A and B are shown apart, each in its own frame.
Chain A
Amino acid sequence: MKLNRREFLALTGKTAAGAVIFAACGLPERELIVQSPVDLPEDLVRGEDAWYATSMGDFSNGDGVLVRVMQGRAKKIEGNPDHPVNRGKASARYDSVLQLLYHPDRISEPMVRYSKSGNLVAANWDQASTRFKEALSKADGALTIVTNPIRGHLGAVATNFAAQYNGKHMAFDPVEQGVLHGAVKSVLGQDQLPTFDISNAQTVLSFGADWLGTWGSPTQFGVKYGEFREQQDRGYLIHAEPRMSITAAAADLWLAPIPGTEGDLALGIASVIIENGMVSPQNVAAFEAAVPGGVSSYQLAEVASRTGISADRIEKAATHFAEHTPSVAFGGGSAGAHTNGSFNLGAIYALNVLVGAVDAKGGVTSNPGSAFDDVPASATGASFEAWEAELAEWRAGNVETVIIRGADIVHGMPNSVKIREALEHVPNVIAFGAIHDDTMDFADLVLPEQTFLEAWGTEIPEPGPGYQVVGTQQPVVGPTITRDESGLISDARGFGDTLLSMSDGSYGSSMERLVKDALSDLHDTGRGSVSASSSSLFINGTLQRGGWWDISTSGSSNVGKVNVKERNASYSDTGSLGTGDDFHLVPFHSNSLFDGRLAATPWAQQTPDPISSVSWSTWAEINSIQADELGINEGDVLRIRSTSGEIEALAYPHPGVRPGVIGIPMGQGHHKSGRYAEDRGSNVFSILADEKDSETGALAWAATRVRVQRAGRRVKVPKFEGNVVARPVEPGVPVLVVGISETAEEAQEANHHLYQKQFLGEGKESGSDE
C-alpha cells in the first residue's frame, strides 16, 4: 500500500503516535476510541439485556435478586434494590449459582438403577415417570420426602404430596436451627425468627452466629451493619465466638469463650449489669422473671473462670451493652450447637429483656406470620433425634420410598448414624438434583432438577424485615441448548412440577399456576406494595418487582422463660482415640461453599476464605502459639479423630483461635459433586459425635472433642495470603487505623514517629550508621 505525505499525516493523527502529539490539547482518547481500531466490547455494547427479578431459592434466606439475561443466557446475579431484605446488595455466593446453571457436569437426563447392585443408566422422562409411579404405588403410609428446609409454595407442595400418601415431609439441615427456633419461641414467644434492628442499635452483642458471613440472612445483616457503623455515634460491636469468624473480625471487642459456656457468659454479663445498677429495676424484675434461678450463681470471677474470658473483658462488654443503648443481643451457630444449646441461646436472648430491647427501636422485633394460610413463614430441619428415629424405620424396612431433594444426606450426616446402610434398606430412593451428589450413589432413580433460575416459586424470607414479605421466583432462562445443538445442557424439570404431576391434583396443577393463584389471592386482599386494577396486572407488577410486601403488618412478642434444664455442656470423649493432642472441634460454614451446596462451582471453590485466605481445600485453624508449642507448622497434614471417625486437614495456625480449639470449615469432602469438588478436601460432618441438645434433640455439632496428630506430611496450602507482597502505608502498618476522633493525618504522623523510634531505637539519632 502506497501512502503519500498527506495521507501519512492524516493517519498518524488517528493512531497512538498521534495521541502523544495531541496529549497537550486535551481529550485525545476520544479520538482513539472513535477512530482507531481499538474498539473493544467495552466500547460497543451489542444487543439488549434484560434484568429479571427473582428470589435466591436455596442459596440464601430469601434475598431478592436481579438476573441479567442476554440472548437467553443468564450473565450476572445482583441484589434487587427494591427488595426489603437485601436492598440491592449481594453476597459472595450469588454469582456462583450461575455456574450450577451452566455446570459442565450438570445431570442432563433421568437415570434409573434397575437393581440395588446395578449402575445408573440413562432414561427418558417417560421411563422415569413410570419408575416413579411404581415407587409410589407401594408407598402409602411408607413414604418420606426429604428436603432442605424450604419455605414458600415449594415446601407446601412437598408437605401436601407427602400427606396424600400418608407419609411425612422431613427437612434436613446439617447445621440445624431447631435450638434457635426453640429459644426464640420460649424466650420471646415468637414463631418466626425475629428481626434485629442492627441499623439503629448503639451496641450489638452477638454470640456464636457469624451473621456477617453465613448465619441467618447475612446480606440483610451486612446492609444493616453498614448503617450501624455510619451512625453519628458509631455503633459498637461485641462478638463472642471461640474462633475468629468474619463477624468476630469486624467486632470492636472479640470474646472467645470456651465452647459451650456462651450461656454462662451471657448471664455473667447480666450479673455485672444488675449488680452495678446499670438498668432500671423494672427491667431487672422482668429479666429475673424470665431466667429461673436468676444470676446469683454467675458472679464475675466465677464466670471468668468458667468461660476462660478475663473479668475485665466481661465487664467491658457488660458496660457497653447496658450503657450505650439501644442495644440488641442475639446468638446462634456454634453457641446453640451444644448439649446445653437451648440454655445458651435462651440466656442470650433474655439479655434483650434486661436492656428493654424487646420490640424496641434498635432492639429485637418480631416478624408477622405468613401472608398465606397454607404456607408457613418458617422452616427448620428436623432434629437429629427425629432423624435417628426415622433412619431406624428405614433400616427396619418400614419405609418403601424416600424422595430426596436439596439435601445431600450422605454428605451431611455424621458417620455414627450409618446413613448409607439405612438408604440401602429403602426399596425406592428417588433423588432430585442438578449435580450428582453423594446421596445419588444410593438412588434408584435420579431426576435432573431445574435450578431456581429456571423454576417458579415463592419465598418467605426468614428472618424477615419486620413485616410480611412474599418474594417471587420465576424462570429467567429457558432450557439451554448445547453449543453443538445436539440437545439440551439439561433436560431438567422442577421438583414442584414433578410432584404435582404425580399427585391427585388437589393442591394444584403446576408451580406457575400455584404462584399466580397465590398472587391473585394477595391482590384480593387489597393491601401491600403492589396495587393494580386487575389480578393479571397485579401478578405482572409483583413479578417485575420481585415480590410483594406489606409494611403495615407486624408481629408481637410475648416474653417467656429461658430453658434451664441443662446449664452445663458435655462433650464427646477422646479417651479411646489413640495418641495425639485433644482439641475442641468447632466446625464452621465456608463463606463461599456454605455447607457444601455450592462446592460444585469453581467460583465458590476459588474464593479465598476471608480469615485464612485458603481455597480449594480443607484446612484446620489452630492457635499459632499453641501450634508452635506442639511443633505444628502451616501445611502439616493433620489427622483429626473423633468417636465418629477420622479426617485429614491442612494445618493453618493463626492468632484468631482460642487455644485448645480447632476450627474446620464445612463444605468439602464430597465423593461426587462434579469435577471441581469430587474427592477434594475432607468432610467435617462425618466426624461429628452424636451429642444432642438436651431439650430439642438437635445435633450438638460443636460438642465434639477430637484428638489431633500430625500425619508426617506437609503440603503447600493453596492460599492467597503471600501471593502479593504487602505494601504498607507505613512500614509495618498495612492498614491505617484511627481512633474515634483521630484524623488519618494524625494517625499517619503518629505511626511515622513510632516507626522511627522502633527503627532507630530509643536514644539513637537519625542518620546513625547502626
Chain B
Amino acid sequence: MTTAEFGTHNWGMVVDIDKCIGCNACVIACQAENNIPINTQDRVERARSISWIRVERYWEGDFPDAKARFIPIMCQHCENAPCEPVCPVYATYHNSEGMNIQVYNRCVGTRYCANGCPYIVRFFNYWEPVWPESLRNHLNPDVTVRSRGIMEKCSFCVHRIRHESRKARSEGHEILDGAVQTACSSACPTSALNFGNFNDPNSKVSKMRGDKRHYTLLDQFGTDPNVIYLAKIDADKKVGAGEAATHG
C-alpha cells in the first residue's frame, strides 16, 4: 500500500494483469508521446533499447498446457525509491504527488539510480537521439528530447498532469477522476492500465486497489510502489496450490 498521504493528489496506477493481453499498444503510445528514440535493430541486439513501459512475457508449462503470462512494467514511482537517495545531483526526487521525478538537465549520468532500481525501468542514453529530419515533425513539444549521457524513465506523463491541473485551476474545480490519463492507460484497449489519484477514496484506482488480488512488485524490498498490480486469474488454479517455477 502506498504511504503518501500529503497533498491533494497521489498519482498512481493499477495494472490488472488479468486483462492484459500483451498487445503492446501501451508501449507504442508511450514511445510516441514521450519522444523515445527509435530502438534500432542494433540497439535491440545490444540490449540498449529504451522502453519506458515494457510488456514482459513468461512461459509456463509445456505443450499442450503451455501458457504465456504477460505483465506490463514501468517505473513504479516508489514512495521509498532506491533510485532517489543515490543521485549525487538530486536529478531524481520524489514529489508531493506520489511521483518519482527525473530532472534531465540536472542528470550527469552516473547511472547510480539505474543500479539501485530493482525494477530495471531506468534507461541510459548511450547515444544522442537521432531522427531523420522529417520524422522530427511528430515529436511532442511538451516533452524534452533527452540528450546523450543522461537517464530517463516513465514520468507518469507528468506533462499531461500539469496540463489538466492548469485547466482545472482555470475552470475553478478539482481535477476530475479520469481526466488525467497517461498515454499508456489511454491506449490500453482492455483497460488493464488504470491511472488516477489514490488520495481520492472515490477514484477508480482507489477502489481497484482494494481488490483482493492486489499486490506490489518485489514487495520484500519495501519500496512501496505507486503502481499496484491485480494478479492474473487462472480459472483452473486451485486455492493454495502455489505455482511452480517458470521459464522463458
Which chain B residue shows the least CB distance to A320? B235
Contacts known (A616-B41, A724-B120, A727-B218); A608 close to B19, Cβ less than 8 A: no
A272 CA to B23 CA, complexed, in Å: 34
Given contacts A45-B141, A96-B28, A616-B40, 19 further A-B contacts (CB under 8 A): A76-B32, A99-B135, A106-B134, A246-B22, A246-B23, A254-B66, A606-B39, A606-B40, A606-B49, A611-B68, A616-B41, A617-B41, A718-B45, A720-B54, A733-B243, A736-B231, A740-B235, A742-B239, A743-B212
Contact A256 B63, beta carbon cutoff 8 Å: yes
Question: With the chains together, A70 CA to B244 CA distance in Å?
Answer: 51
Please tell me if B113 contacts chain A, counting CB pairs below 8 Å. no
- Which residue of chain A is the closest to B163 with respect to CB atoms? A45
Bound complex: CA A738 to CA B215 (Å) = 11
B23 touches A222 (CB 8 A): yes
A42 pairs with B140, CB closer than 8 A: no
Given the complex of chains A and B, what is the CA–CA distance between A144 and B70 in angstroms? 46
Please tell me if B7 contacts chain A, counting CB pairs below 8 Å. yes
Taking a contact as CB atoms under 8 Å apart, the answer to whether B138 and A75 are in contact is yes
Task: Please name the residue on chain B nearest to A30 by beta carbon.
Answer: B96
| CB-CB under 8 A for A744 and B214, given A40-B105, A736-B231 | yes
B200 interface hit (Cβ, 8 Å): no
Q: In this complex, what residue of A is CB-closest to B89?
A: A16
Take A655-B61, A738-B233 as given contacts and tell me if A591 and B24 are in contact as well, using a CB distance cutoff of 8 Å. Answer: yes
Residue of B nearest to A244 (CB): B68
Minimum Cβ distance to chain A for residue B137 (Å): 4
Q: Is A734 touching B69 in the complex (CB atoms < 8 A)?
A: yes
- Produce 1/0 per residue, A456-480, CB < 8 A to B: 0000000000000000000000001
Within the complex, what minimum Cβ distance (angstroms) separates A149 from chain B? 23
Task: Give Cα distance in the complex from A482 to B158, angstroms.
Answer: 31
Q: Which secondary structure characterizes the binding site on chain B?
A: loop
- Which residues of B sit under 8 angstroms from A718, Cβ to Cβ? 41, 44-45
What chain B residues lie within 8 Å of A392 (beta carbons)? Answer: none
Hey, which bits of chain B sit against chain A, CB under 8 A?
6-7, 17-19, 21-25, 27-29, 31-33, 38-41, 44-45, 47, 49, 51, 54-59, 61-64, 66-71, 89-90, 93, 95-96, 101, 103-106, 118-120, 132-144, 155, 158-159, 162-163, 166, 183, 186-192, 212-215, 217-219, 229-246, 248
Question: Any chain B CB within 8 A of the CB of A3?
Answer: no
A46 at the interface (CB under 8 A from B): yes
CA distance A739 to B230 in the complex (A): 12
Chain A residues proximal to chain B, CB less than 8 Å: 16, 19-20, 26-27, 29-30, 37-38, 40-43, 45-47, 70-71, 73-79, 86, 88-96, 98-99, 101-104, 106, 212-213, 218-219, 222-223, 225-226, 229-230, 234, 236, 244, 246-247, 249-250, 252, 254-256, 309-310, 313, 480, 482-483, 489, 591-592, 602-603, 605-608, 610-611, 613, 615-617, 623-625, 654-659, 716, 718-727, 729-755, 758
Docked pose: A37 CA to B32 CA in angstroms? 27
The docked-state distance in angstroms from the alpha carbon of A752 to that of B140 is 45
Question: Please, could you name 7 A-B residue pairs with CB atoms under 8 Å apart, sorted by A?
Answer: A41-B142, A42-B142, A102-B134, A225-B21, A655-B63, A737-B234, A746-B239
A254 — which chain B residues lie within 8 A by C-beta?
64, 66-67
- Is A734 touching B71 in the complex (CB atoms < 8 A)? yes
A29 neighbours in B (Cβ, 8 Å): 93, 95-96, 101
Q: How far is the CB of B211 from chain A (nearest CB, A)?
A: 8
**A246 touches which one: B21, B32, B139, B246 (CB < 8 A)?**
B21
A104 touches B24 (CB 8 A): no
Determine if B23 and A625 form an interchain contact, defined as CB atoms under 8 angstroms apart. Answer: no
A716 near B134: Cβ-Cβ < 8 Å? no
Task: Specify which of B25, B56, B158, B192 lies most central, judged by the most chain A CB atoms within 10 Å of its CB.
Answer: B25
Do B238 and A739 touch across chains, with their CB atoms under 8 A apart?
A: yes
Contacts of A309 in B (CB 8 A): 64
B219 contacts A89, C-beta separation under 8 Å: no
Residues of B within 8 A of A608 (CB): 24, 27, 55
Known contacts A226-B192, A615-B44, A744-B212, A607 near B24 by CB under 8 Å: yes
Assembly CA distance A181 to B172 (angstroms): 53
Question: Given the complex, which residues of A lie within 8 Å of B28, measured CB to CB?
Answer: 92-96, 592, 603, 607
A247 to B23, CA, bound (A): 10
Q: Report, nearest first, the 5 A-B pairs whose CB atoms are least far apart.
A: A732-B245, A222-B189, A754-B242, A226-B190, A104-B132
A19: chain B residues within 8 A (beta carbon) = 90, 93
CB neighbours of A725 from chain B (8 A): 120
Which residue of A41, A480, A730 is within 8 Å of B141 (Cβ)? A41
Query: Do the beta carbons of A610 and B120 come within 8 Å of each other?
Result: no
CB-based nearest A residue for B25: A92
Using known A-B contacts A735-B17, A740-B233, determine if residue A26 contacts B96 with beta carbons closer than 8 Å.
yes
* Complex CA distance for A77 and B183, rounded to whole angstroms: 10
Given A74-B138, A219-B189 in contact, is the A42-B159 Cβ separation under 8 Å?
yes
Partner of B19, one of A71, A226, A655, A735: A226
Question: In the bound complex, do residue A742 and residue B240 qualify as a contact, i.e. CB atoms below 8 Å apart?
Answer: yes
A225 to B33, CA, bound (A): 25
Contact A218 B189 (CB under 8 A): yes
Docked CA distance A578–B40 (Å): 37
Instruction: Indicate if the CB atoms of B41 and A738 lie closer than 8 Å.
Output: no
Pick from A90, A229, A752: contact of B189, CB below 8 A: A90
